Structure 1
Amino acid sequence: MNRDKRSLLFVLLAICGAILPMIGQAQEEATPAGPPLALISTVKGTIGPATSRQIGEAIAVAEERNADVLVLRIDTPGGLVTSTRDIVSDILASDVPVAGYVWPGGGHAASAGTYIIYATGIAAMAPGTNLGAATPVSMGGMPGSPQQPGKSSGSGDGEDGKAVPSNEEALSKKATNDAVALIRSLAETHGRNAEWAEEAVREGVSLGAKEAQGTGVIEIVARDLDDLLAQMDGREVVAGTSMKTLRTADARIEHVEPGFMTELLAVIGNPNVAFLLMMIGVYGIIFELSNPGSFGPGILGAICLLLGLYALNQLPLDYAGVALIVLGLVLMAVEAFTPTFGVAGFGGLVSFVFGAAMLIDSDNPEFQISWVTIAGTAAASAALLIFLIGYTLRAMRRPVATGAEELEGAEARVLEWANGEGYVHIHGERWRARGPAELAPQSTVRVERMDGLTLVVS
């Protein structure tokens, strides 16, 4: 009887084990999955350290939330090569599919923006936008630009009669070839038009949305985000090291806003702002050192100096410019503490102007310190130097206020006197004095000189 019960129990358990997975599977099939999640990050303005940080944070958020796609809405004139490389690396390493969308109408993805679009798994544009002009800018002009007929671009002729390229042209050629290799590699990764990409780098050509789609540069032309997500649905894209099928139809849209540090870096990352912060910091510290105990200028100066140095550290610096600025500030500080009648001060001012002009190693106008900023800081420094020199000259002409020299010629009042000696009162003090034999108390005398601790009066 017990054996029959045990057998029945085993049979029931086996039936339950077979039925429960089927029930769970049926419930999974019956319960629809949640709507897809599409995160949006808007990139506007020049590509720089703040943009690189913004996109890196957006990709991290998308991976953390297991988003179905991250859409980068782009409108940029270009930017720094180093920041562009960082962004491309982050996009290629992302496990979440990344789409690039040139938006809004009238916007563009020029220069650095073209590389970013080519790095994304899905490339899209809004009507009325354009991309291209991806030639890297270097010192001396646009590398790869055609020469005028009959004119050699070389610096001289070699033994075989051929033009020998200058060092500047050689560097430009290297930068162009490196950029071509990068954008062709990105085009091949996502199956896009590599020939046009190379032409965009070498010749600086651009394309509108429809033409870009027709030549295989982008995949989608979309009016808005909803249209873009609808057209992306079901496409296979490269995401990290694998292929993924996009599930974006009726996706829930959420925007990823830049963090506080990213917004701060976007403000102080402007070379003019960073430079002014550094100057405020330096002058605040100099004022604190010349007036110990005031605290306020020193604290404000230290904060501004650290913020300015942090921002400048994110930018491509020319270290010769940094050295000239430091030398200029040191010479101006020397003028402030040990006056040299303008020799050190104005030498430091000249060094400072040259250093500021060559501080940022980039031909991108957005990352150059403007001449207005340089002229303003130089004028402020010159005004400070003129004030210091004038103060020094006035101090030298001012009568001596302490010591024996200050007492000579001063008037004193006789307190006690007998036989050519006695005591006089001067500057609130009682002094021993000698002089004429007969002087009456309360009479006024003039100090001629000091003899030790005795005043000689007349």
Structure 2
Amino acid sequence: MKQWCPKAVLACLLLILAQAFAIAVLSQEIEGAAEPERENQPHIAQLSINGPIGPATTDYLVRTSETAQENGARLIIVNMDTPGGLDAATRDIIQHILASEIPYVTYVTPAGARAASAGTYILYASHVAAMTPSTTLGAATPVQMGGVPGQQEAPQKTPDKSPKDSDGGEKADAGDKRGGESEGSKPASAMERKVINDSVAYIRGLAQRHGRNADWAEKAVRDAATLTAQEALAENVIDVVAENQQQLMKQLPNREIVLDGKKQPIAGDVAELPVVAYEPDWRNELLSLITNPQIAYILLLIGIYGLIFEGYSPGAIVPGVVGVISLLLAFYALQVLPINYVGLALIIVGALLIAAELFVPSFGALGIGGVIALVIGSVMLIDSDVPGMRVSKALIGSIAAISGLGLLGLLYAVGHSLRKPKVAANKTMVGRTAVVIDVEPELLVKIDGEIWRACCDNQLTEGQLVTVTEEQGLILQVRPE
């Protein structure tokens, strides 16, 4: 059977990738050329945030909104349904919204959607905050520090004997009316207090900028409070409740907003403008895929193992090329994700220990240690409690199971080889069957793909089967079967 050359395989892979890239770029150019009516025409740009907020979300929102403004957009509607997201990505989006020259309308939709955690901050930052009935917002407590602050220590109830508080407890409730810290909700550590107070100041500033309920915003951060759409409207947390986008558009004209630090109304004819949807392009989809913690984790393992296999099999080329590309993509994703570097180091050490088991006779000690380090490092890798921004436990379990099964297979092979009878080095070929492949000018035989020089007292022909009777250095003594 004809064998493939590794360089030829690599060239084919690169050619396929180049063709795929060219097709993707061409398709984008064709798509852009197919919509000439969008350019420089007044319209309303419709964007969407679905799922956790990360670097790919920021890239999509910022780049697409800038393109929409260049194409004549006079207002941007962001349909949102998110469980939260990364702090850095959320702040980048908010900075972009606050610096925008056209109004941003954030609309929590469809029914059943939510603007939790980071979504609440974006709602407060938007010029118009709108929700569909049966949607929710809130639970804006930072969770990167590990859990919800204030739930670590239960407050101790002590009788208050001060005569000054006999007026119905007004002083005790003053902090609650202000939305300040109570003893039961006060974070335990100094770091948690710093994070909470910073988040409180941030969301209160956003609320005050747009004249919304700052006290409830603080409560959403300190106590993870939540509201439904109707409750949020009654509490002056949002501006509009609309069943659908048509109802939303009817409530926007002439509504007073704060834009570029000044109060001004939304244009009265905005409801008559066409709505143009700007969907994520291939670049956003690629970034979203790469920065997914599950994909980043898999790319990291592929990169590490690819380089290990290339190191132990120089010249294979394909494992090395795939490993380098995967590792670079993983490092790009990890630099924008909240990773724990100890976890990353444990994953690398674990992979090296598993690979070392193939070459060092440790009888499983290195491999078992490698699997343990790999699992612990995988659990520690993503330092975030945001839903959708963690490595799945099922994925970690699958990787651990595959590594464990591979290790067991390796140990079985080693044990099987140890149980074989020991044979002297100069007797390993004796008794094996060979095929004569040439008789002139010298006798050559082939055993399991290896070609040996041989000698025989009988006349042999090509293709004849012979048995090895003696091994003399690199020459075999054979006889016909």
Alignment TM-score > 0.5, same fold:
yes
Paired residues for 1:90-239 under 5 Å: 90-145=96-151, 148-150=154-156, 169-239=189-259
Distance in 1 (CA, whole Å) between partners of 2:234 and 2:318 is 63
* Letter of the structure 1 residue corresponding to residue 56 of structure 2: A
Deviation at 1:106, TM superposition (A): 2.1
* Cα distance change, pair 122–234 in 1 and its aligned pair in 2 (3 A): same
How far does the alpha carbon of each residue in 1:312-336 deviate from its partner, in whole angstroms, 9 at most, with x for none? Answer: 3321001111111111122222223
* Cα distance change, pair 445–398 in 1 and its aligned pair in 2 (3 A): closer
Which position in structure 1 is the counterpart of 2:375?
Answer: 353
* Cα distance change, pair 183–290 in 1 and its aligned pair in 2 (3 A): same
* Letter of the structure 1 residue corresponding to residue 338 of structure 2: P
How far does the alpha carbon of each residue in 1:257-313 deviate from its partner, in whole angstroms, 9 at most, with x for none? Answer: 112122123233332222123223333343344444444444444433333333233
* Cα distance change, pair 395–214 in 1 and its aligned pair in 2 (3 A): same
1:314 aligns with 2:336: yes
Given candidates 303, 321, 326, the residue that maps to 2:348 is: 326
How far does the alpha carbon of each residue in 1:363-412 deviate from its partner, in whole angstroms, 9 at most, with x for none? Answer: 2242222222112111211222233344444455667899535478999x
Task: Give TM-score scaled by structure 1 length.
Answer: 0.74
1:252 aligns with 2:274: yes
* Cα distance change, pair 387–240 in 1 and its aligned pair in 2 (3 A): farther
Contact 2:97 2:104 in 1 (8 A): yes
Distance in 1 (CA, whole Å) between partners of 2:453 and 2:157 is 89
Deviation at 1:198, TM superposition (A): 0.9
Distance in 2 (CA, whole Å) between partners of 1:290 and 1:339 is 16
RMSD between superposed Cα atoms in Å:
3.7
SS in 2 for 1:52: helix
How far does the alpha carbon of each residue in 1:73-118 deviate from its partner, in whole angstroms, 9 at most, with x for none? Answer: 1111212222211211121122222111111122221111110000
Distance in 1 (CA, whole Å) between partners of 2:148 and 2:353 is 38
Which position in structure 2 is the counterpart of 1:429?
Answer: 454
Structure 2: gaps of 5 or more residues: 1-39, 159-182, 434-443, 446-451, 457-466
SS in 2 for 1:362: coil
Distance in 2 (CA, whole Å) between partners of 1:131 and 1:254 is 26
Which position in structure 2 is the counterpart of 1:49?
Answer: 55
Which position in structure 1 is the counterpart of 2:404?
Answer: 382
* Cα distance change, pair 244–399 in 1 and its aligned pair in 2 (3 A): farther
Aligned residues: percent identity?
A: 42
Structure 1: gaps of 5 or more residues: 1-33, 153-162, 412-424, 432-443
Given candidates 281, 285, 296, the residue that maps to 1:274 is: 296
Task: Give TM-score scaled by structure 2 length.
Answer: 0.70
* Cα distance change, pair 394–216 in 1 and its aligned pair in 2 (3 A): same
* Cα distance change, pair 166–241 in 1 and its aligned pair in 2 (3 A): closer
Paired residues for 1:25-104 under 5 Å: 36-104=42-110
Query: Of the two, which has the highest radius of gyration?
Result: 1
How far does the alpha carbon of each residue in 1:318-365 deviate from its partner, in whole angstroms, 9 at most, with x for none? Answer: 111111111112222222344433222222221111111111111224
Contact 1:237 1:243 in 2 (8 A): yes
* Letter of the structure 2 residue corresponding to residue 268 of structure 1: I
* Letter of the structure 2 residue corresponding to residue 84 of structure 1: T
* Cα distance change, pair 249–392 in 1 and its aligned pair in 2 (3 A): same
How far does the alpha carbon of each residue in 1:126-161 deviate from its partner, in whole angstroms, 9 at most, with x for none? Answer: 222221121222445311349545279xxxxxxxxx
1:373 aligns with 2:379: no
